[in-house]
Structure 1
Amino acid sequence: MEKPVIILGAKGIAHPALEIFNSNKVVVYGFLDEDEKLHGQEINVVPILGNPEDEGFLKLVGKKCEAFVAVDDNKYRQFLVKMLNDNRKVQPINAIHHTAYISTDATIGHGNFVNAKVNVGAGATIGSHCIINSGAIIDHGSKVGDFVQLGAGSIANSNVTIEEGAFIGSGVILVSGITVGKNARIGAGSVVISDVKANDTVFGNPAASIKK
């Protein structure tokens, strides 16, 4: 990658995203964050320049710089991605740690955060703008939708389907063949042995729905 990167967001996954780009010898031009108190500060000598909606910085995206959205909150992440799509006609790039393994016939979209020691198996499909934390496994034939988050050490066994916007906590085990519905949430350490409905929150071993 020849162009430097502007990272939108300076909290949460922003610092590890910087480390990922550094590990791949990609220059990070700076961070943009909505928190004005952070402006002028640095993360590992890389400056926090201003606001993600500042046209003065955004005009660099697509011409002189690539962009990566490093925001944990899905709604704000979606807003920033749409802004880049609409205003700059660009897709955010992927941040993939050099120790991650992605099978040669897996498919991966745009703007994904893939941290150290992630393993993506043969024939797996990952959408766009996902956050896949350290050591997560997405086994062969599994399908991960857009804006999905997988916690550190979570395991999606073979032929699992995780639909858009789902949140999978750290250390979760999803048994082969199940489907996790859109915007569902699975608590850390859970073992999920059956399908999870859209918008449902489950927890435990075996995982069960948490009544609201």
Structure 2
Amino acid sequence: MSAPERPLVAVLDYGIGNLRSAQKGLEKVGADARLTADAGLIADAAGLVLPGVGAFGRCMEALRAAGLEDVAAGGVADAADGGRPFLGVCVGMQMLFEGSDETPGVPGLAALPGRARLLPAEVKHPQMQWNTLDWRRRPGPTTALPDPAWVYFVHSYGVDCPNDLVTATCDYGGPVTAMVDRGRCWATQFHPEKSSATGLALLAGFVAECAAPATVA
């Protein structure tokens, strides 16, 4: 009996941050994960991942310089309509929205409504710690995660967005958006690849979605 095929997952390579950590996490849970900016490979992939570490403005500028802005925005739109799965991570989640107060003059992808804003003044910046998720719902990739789910955060900005997008929050000077979803687009403010077994369970759920058929009507 042959081994099941590993779904091809394109990790968008725009040359900034530790993109390989996301690639390695996906490989560990069964994906054929490729760090790439190649249009043909991206077109053939069963799922797309947009990681991000560092400053919002630098990440957006690098994404545009790599010619991946439209790829990422189109990937979110397709996933939101039930097509090919898309996962954003940390700054990669913030970039899906309209912009960030960290770099006011640099627009985001505006694929989802909302904006990244500085965490409350009374808490330490950045939030650099393990924290628990407060679930609002449990979409596909999250169903195998424990409750409470401990995950690892490193960020000073959090997304302010419509309530119907919010999958989970964490408590850090008040509720902070920790995960969002729309259709087959999911994005996390925390780092699944740094969140031990819980994070790997989320990545495994995403890879399973990549292996499943699209739900576009």
Which TM-score band (shorter chain)?
A: 0.3 to 0.5
TM-score when scaled to structure 1? 0.33
Greater RCO (CA < 8 Å, at least 6 residues apart): 2
Structure with higher Rg: it is 1
TM-score when scaled to structure 2? 0.33
Task: Identify the structure with the greater helix proportion.
Answer: 2
